[in-house]
Structures are given as structure tokens and as C-alpha cells.
Structure 1
Amino acid sequence: MKYSAFALASLLISTAAFAEEDRTGWPDSFTVATASQGGTYFAYGSGWANLVAEELGLTGGGEVTGGPGQNMALVHTGDTQFGMTTMGPAAEAIRGESPIAPGLQMTNACAMFPMYQTPFSVTALSSSGITSISEIPDGARIGFGPAGSTSDTYFPRMMETLGVNFDRRNGSWSDLGGQLQDGLIDVIAFAAGVPVPAVSQLEVQTDVNIIEFTEEEQATIMEAFPVAQFDIAADTYTTLTEDARSVSMWNFAIANCDLPESFVHAVVDIIMSDNERMVNIHRAARSTIPENWDKNNGVIAWHPGAARWFIENAGADIPADQIHGG
């Protein structure tokens, strides 16, 4: 969403004024739980953490974590103020079914703002000859990202559903990229916002195949898992010559539900009022726009400060029973 120069200036001025007038209960510093280095979460999360810290005059930054599942736990307990999660792991955590802490219903992590869709994609070296899911050899060593991440939670099950037999490997995206180049693994199954930094780096250093799902594979995955149809645009990677068929899952930023309403409202205002600034942090932020508030679909209770921003600025129809404490 773009604003006129006058409107944007007014928004930024009002944010600064608001922040100066009411900081009751605000923390002096904050942390955003992200994921492993080399992945989109780390780049995107560290970027908006630095932006908010600068705008509000606070100390803040991103923290390397195990990804969405662990982030739900860290934000729920208040070990970090903010984090990022995908909707599948979030739903499991709220039901008390997270492998991170089975039985713990993580209901003190609140929705803050929509981020972007996480496509599920497969990458192999061109020298491997693997150009499709069906060509992945029996017993292939597949890197699924950090243990407990969205990719590690869902992609092995997706591969099994598609009849792929594999040797499961875990690690940070940057580490797995190095292992792929060195021949220590055969395939990387990425679930991360695009462009994935590790894939972009691989493209610079070697020839890779970015493998899409067939229409039948896509339909099978969509029926079995909480994902939607998605196309990775051809201009995302230099390797692609046309859009690549994929599936995706939405990501949301989350906040500890006990944070002051005014604080979370101010943070959301900074993130959502200037999309161009967010896109400069990471191209995936093209989807970090107010009208995507509805992608929460009632999965995560809204933080009152975030809900107020979207109701006031995006015409969001958020029922009171979907707002924490409502």
C-alpha cells in the first residue's frame, strides 16, 4: 500500500508524537525471535526489529532461533517480546500440540501483523540431474532446515505423501547450502519466504535446479495439509525462466499478549504505514500490507493494540472474541 508524501509524513509524525505522549509500561528494549541465519525469517525479522528500534528510540534486534514453533514458545512465555510464525505451527501450539512443549497451550502469543506467504520449494544441484520430485532417488539425503522449523515440521510429511523415501537431515539454511555444494546432501526442501537468501547465494556460486510441483502433486499436498496454491514468480531467482508451481502457508508477526496496547499499536503503525520501507528490508514484504489482516482466519487471538490499528486503518472486521481479553 502506498501513501502520498503528505499522508506518509502525517503518519510518521503522528507515530512519533504518540510514542512520546504515552509510553506507560513500555520496555526499554525488545527482541524479535526469528530463525536460522541464511533464511528469510532472520533477514526480515532483524530488519523490522532494527526499523522499530530506530523509529521508537529503543534498543531492539533479531534473535536466531529454531523458527516458528520455538518462536511461539518464546513469545508465549515472554522470553522475547516479539516473534514470527507460520499459521500451521501456530495452530498446533495454541492447541497444545507443539513438539516444542506438548500439552502447553500457547495462548499468550498474540497476532500482530501479516507478513508474507511461505512457499514450499525444492532445490538440487543441476549436476544431480534431479528436475522433478519423482526423480529424487530412493534414500536421497534431504535437508529440511532447522529442527522444529515449519519446513522440518511439514516438508518431510509432504515428501512421504508424494512417495519419496529419504534420509532426513537438519541444519541452518546457510549450512545446508554449503552441504549441498559439497555433495554431503542431495536436495534441500525449503519452506521460507522468497527469495530465500541461501538459494540466491547458491545461484551465484553454482548451477541449481529449482524444482516445482506438478499439478497433481500440488493438488495432493493441498488436500492433505493447511496450505494454499502459490506460484514462485519467475523474477524471484535468476535460475527461473517461468513461474514455478508451489504451495504456501501464511506467516504472521506475533507479540506477547501482556505487552502494553500503546506499544504494540505504535510498532504496527511503523511496519504497516510504509510498505516501500519494508520491501527494502526484504522483497517478501510486498505482502506485508494492511488488507492481508484477514489471513489470520481466527487462528491466533489478536493483540488489542494490533486489532485497534487494523480496525482504524484497514477497516478490519475483527470480532471481539478474536481479540485477546475481549
Structure 2
Amino acid sequence: MRVFVTATAGAAALALSAGALSAQEVDRTGWPSSFTVGTASQGGTFFVYGSGWANLVAEELGITGAGEVTGGPMQNMALVHTGDLAFGLTTLGPAQESLQGTNPIAPGLEMNNVCAMFPMYQTPFHLAALASEGITSLSEIPDGTVIGFGPAGSSADTYFPAMLEELGVSFERRNGGWDDLGGQMQDGLIDAIGFAAGVPIPTVSQLEVQTDISIVGFTDEELATVTENFPVAEYTVSADTYRTLQEDMTSVAMWNFAIANCDLPESFVYEATRIAMEDNARMVNIHSSAVETLPEHWDKNNVLKWHPGAARWFNENGGASIPDDMIHGG
């Protein structure tokens, strides 16, 4: 599936002209002839965002690039670390676990050849359930409720079940791609889905058109419990995010960052970072969550060392002051 970014003819011509000029001027020594961005399952925000950004980079730099369906943040950390993928998308919680050697994909392996590129957006956690289930809060989910948590190893699968267990919820766990889980819920095979993705989540938007659902956030008491025990912060899902919501909803969230294999050439990563950060409107055209893909959020990364190419862009153009000890090889 390709994601095309629309623009006016004049704007597109200017962007392509500027991109072509930039591409001619930069040193391409050591650049790959193609690249792949690790995303997540189809139907999720990572897939839409990552595929769209890959297309932008490929078109502007004149090399082949695309998004790839993966298991999400944990698997992307592993694949970027080994160099099987040039770029990927991850969440800072899974990134921290991967650096510490507790990534379930490769226990004991410290994935320290993964570098930060740029801030993407915050990932809110929320639950979508069939309206017939009558679920109004997380802590009141009936025992035995069958809940899908996305692909195994995803941010949702890693943290949402643990949050529910901390809240005293007893449930049956399922895994799968977001589109697949959405179909299962619509068919009554599962009762709810615990999402962790940039909003609006395509699968949720599709579900609320096709069937009656409820979207469940966190009560004040639940919020206090999970923020005390997990690497998340309070987040508000605006009422206009989904047609099902009647008012703003309290949630929790983690920051997502684009990542690169640390061995990639500095100039290549600089250009790929520039393309994502210099024109936010293009990124928002890919997915509305990119409204947070702004240079000012560089300081949200307190986990990964920066790729030298990305750090150079932020220090020169993004108003950042990334210290040498937070830059790979520095």
C-alpha cells in the first residue's frame, strides 16, 4: 500500500525543485541505493506515518524507499540494530527496554546500534469495546473479557496488559494486526481492543462507522495508578478525534521517535531528518498525529543517543542543544 501526499501544483513544484537542488549539493558517499522504514501492522498509525515519510524521502532524494509491515516498536528496534532495516519507528518505553537488553525478541541483547532521528508524536493508550459490553471504565472490565492488544511485542501488547493487571483486571489476551482485530471485534469474536497508537487510529475510525462501540480512557484514580507505575504521562484525547466521543477523554501516552541504524552515513540521515522536520504541513498530510512532529520536541528523547546526522540538523536548524555525550560516537 502506497501513501501519497497531496499538495497544490505550485507547492509541489517548489518542493521538488528545492529537494532536487539539495540532493545535488549533498555528499552521497556511502549512501544506500534503497532503504526501508519499519512501521507496524496495517490499520495502525505507524504504518500510515512511516510509509508516507518513506515516500517523501524517496521522492525528494531520488532513491528507492518504502514502509514495511512489522511487529511494531520492539521488532523495529531489533531490525534497525542489526541493519536489516535502515530506519524504523519506535516508542521510548520499548526503546529503553531494548537498550537494557530486555527486548523479548532478543533477550540479553543490548540494542545500542539504534540512534534517534526525530520526534514523531505521543502514543495515547485507550480501549475500544463493543457498546453491547457496557464497559465504561478500565477497572470495571468484566472478568474473562477477551481483549486484543495488537501485534506481539508492540507498545500496546507490552504495556496495556500490564496496566490492566495493575488495575486488577482479569482478561483473556489476544494478539494480531489492528485491522484483523477490528474485524474480530466486529464479528463478536473478541470483546475489546487495547490500542496504543497515534490518534485518530484508522481501525477505531472504521469501527465506529460500521458498528456501535464505546471508547474508554482512564479515570482519575486509574490515571494516578498507571502514571506512578509505568513510563507514561497524562494525555487528553480531544472530543473531535472520534465521532463516538462526546467530550474530551483522559488518557496516558508515550513519545514516539523515528530511529536509524547508527552506521548510516551522516549526510543521509541529515537529509532524511530535514525532510521530516522542515515542512510540518507535508507530514500532517500523511497523518494528523504529525501535528506534534516539531523540532521543539527534540528534548523529549531521554533514552536513545542521537545519530550524528540528526543531531547536526537539530543543533543547526531546530534550536536544539544536544550535548556531545548524547550523540553516537561523541
The alignment's TM-score, normalised by the length of structure 2, stands at: 0.94
Give distance in 1, aligned partners of 2:286 and 2:265. Answer: 26
Kindly indicate whether residue 162 of structure 2 is the aligned counterpart of residue 163 of structure 1: no
Match of 2:308 in 1: 304
Kindly indicate whether residue 107 of structure 2 is the aligned counterpart of residue 102 of structure 1: yes
Amino acid at match of 1:85: T
Pick the aligned partner of 1:117 from 118, 122, 126. Answer: 122
Match of 2:320 in 1: 316
For 1:262-273, what aligned pairs fall within 5 Å after superposition? 262-273=267-278
Q: Residues 10, 312 of structure 1: CA spacing in aligned structure 2 closer, same or farther, 3 A cutoff? A: farther
Amino acid at match of 2:279: D
Match of 1:203 in 2: 208
Query: How far did residue 96 of structure 1 move?
Result: 1.0
Match of 1:25 in 2: 30
Give distance in 1, aligned partners of 2:271 and 2:17. Answer: 12
Amino acid at match of 1:211: V
8 Å CA contact 1:32, 1:45 repeated in 2: yes
The alignment's TM-score, normalised by the length of structure 1, stands at: 0.95
Query: How far did residue 18 of structure 1 move?
Result: 3.3
Give distance in 2, aligned partners of 1:171 and 1:217. Answer: 26
Query: How far did residue 26 of structure 1 move?
Result: 0.7
Query: How far did residue 119 of structure 1 move?
Result: 0.2
Query: How far did residue 56 of structure 1 move?
Result: 0.8
Deviations 1:157-177 (A, max 9, x none): 000000100111100011111
8 Å CA contact 2:125, 2:194 repeated in 1: yes
Give distance in 1, aligned partners of 2:262 and 2:108. Answer: 20
Give distance in 2, aligned partners of 1:212 and 1:266. Answer: 38
Q: Residues 10, 325 of structure 1: CA spacing in aligned structure 2 closer, same or farther, 3 A cutoff? A: farther
3-state SS of the aligned residue for 1:251? strand
For 1:1-326, what aligned pairs fall within 5 Å after superposition? 15-21=19-25, 22-297=27-302, 299-326=303-330
3-state SS of the aligned residue for 1:122? strand
Q: Residues 37, 50 of structure 1: CA spacing in aligned structure 2 closer, same or farther, 3 A cutoff? A: same
Match of 1:3 in 2: none
Q: 129-138 or 164-173: which moved more? A: 129-138
Give distance in 2, aligned partners of 1:91 and 1:61. Answer: 26
Match of 2:5 in 1: none
Aligned residues: 320
8 Å CA contact 1:230, 1:248 repeated in 2: yes
Amino acid at match of 1:264: V
Provide runs of 4+ in structure 1 moved above 4 Å: 8-15
Task: Give the alignment's Cα RMSD to 1 decimal.
Answer: 1.7
Q: 129-138 or 82-91: which moved more? A: 129-138
Q: Which structure 1 residue ranges, 5 or more long, are not aligned? A: 1-7
Deviations 1:258-311 (A, max 9, x none): 1110001011111101101100100000000110111102x0010000000000
Give distance in 2, aligned partners of 1:93 and 1:144. Answer: 20
8 Å CA contact 1:32, 1:81 repeated in 2: yes
8 Å CA contact 1:12, 1:270 repeated in 2: no
3-state SS of the aligned residue for 2:127? strand
Give distance in 2, aligned partners of 1:165 and 1:259. Answer: 45
3-state SS of the aligned residue for 1:51? helix
